[in-house]
Amino acid sequence: MTAPFHVVVVSYRTPALLDRCLTSLRPEQDAGRATVAVVDNAPGDGSAALVRERHPGVALVEPGTNLGFGAAVDLGARGSAARWICPANADVAVRPGALQALERAGAADPGAGILAPRLLAPDGSTQHSVHPFPGLRFTAAFNAGLVERSAGLRRRFVLEGSWDADEGRRVPWAHGAFLAVRRATWDAIDGFDPLMWMYAEDLDVCWRADRAGWATRYVPDAHVDHEIAAATGTAFGDGRARRYMAATYRWQADRRSPAVAAATAALNVAGAAGRTLLGAAPGRAAHRAWTRDHLLGARDGLSGGERR
């Protein structure tokens, strides 16, 4: 009998966290709920040896190079007949009952093609992991302060500090640290776009699922621990925010249009600059950094410096 979940863990220079992740998944394998594959995106970091020695029930895929996140998941999902494909970072640990909660939510909402668990930060707090799709309407309303003044808009756009983390609901898109993608949805969108190397691939897969008629649903009863940016912090350091923004603006240029991406960037830079000038002194440094990251990220993304 085929296990309902196939978890594809993308490994990059975090062998200790990978060990924790695979250990958390072993009970799911033993119960027949999940099969697990690890795609080694950092040859030579010790992860492959760890999988062979400590987790022999896990399929090890060694492409010999860093494929990026989405392409690695696509590779690790090949040949699986599971009802749910689960892309996962190596810095997550699945708590007992999480997969069962996802399966129940999927059965209760057959129109949900992507399920997102509650991600728990190292201090036990719930990570804000759901967001609106980037676009001109939201960006203009946000930077004009309209979203801030409207409880209905704050809830609609699932803004940080304005959403109920205990409420299961459909959301625009969710972080890809751990997702469960329904087989029919996975086949309809053909998995991840392999040209999106790193960042915005979760935004993209949820957006393409939405365009294909499948919703993304947040499932608060499914608890997954998340170390947050363990691999990307190692890879990109302080340039992480700029790189994320570059990938997001590149996504907008490709999926919407270069004009929409450029206009969105202009609104974000102007709004962040205005908050820097008008905001209270303690927050100005953060606003200046945000303005700089948007400006440089937009330049990189729209110039082709951050290609899909």
pLDDT truncated to tens, each residue of the chain (308 aa)?
A: 799 999 999 999 999 999 999 999 999 999 999 999 999 999 989 999 999 999 999 999 999 999 999 999 999 999 999 999 999 999 999 999 999 999 999 999 999 999 999 999 999 999 999 999 998 988 888 888 888 888 888 888 888 888 899 999 999 999 999 999 999 999 999 999 988 878 899 999 999 999 999 999 999 999 999 998 665 545 455 667 888 889 999 999 999 999 999 999 889 888 877 777 666 555 566 667 767 776 787 788 888 644 44
Distance of CA 82 to CAs 8, 26, 69, 173, 217, Å? 12, 17, 20, 23, 19
- Total Cβ atoms within 10 A of residue 79: 8
Any residues with CB less than 8 A from the CB of 268 and at least 6 apart, and which?
Answer: 139, 143, 294, 298
pLDDT at residue 143, as a whole number: 85
Cα–Cα distance between 98 and 86 in angstroms, integer?
Answer: 12
Determine the length of the chain: 308
Closest residue by Cα to residue 94 from 181, 16, 4, 20 = 20
Tokens of residue 282, six digits: 């303690």
Any residues with CB less than 8 A from the CB of 54 and at least 6 apart, and which?
Answer: 19, 22
pLDDT at residue 153, as a whole number: 82
Residue with tokens 């924790």: 20
Using one digit for the tens of pLDDT, what is the confidence trace for 119-161?
Answer: 999 999 999 999 999 989 888 888 888 888 888 888 888 888 8
Q: Can you give the pTM of this predicted structure? A: 0.91
Closest residue by Cα to residue 39 from 30, 54, 31, 51 = 51
Cα–Cα distance between 229 and 231 in angstroms, integer?
Answer: 6
Cα–Cα distance between 50 and 122 in angstroms, integer?
Answer: 23
Cα–Cα distance between 156 and 152 in angstroms, integer?
Answer: 6
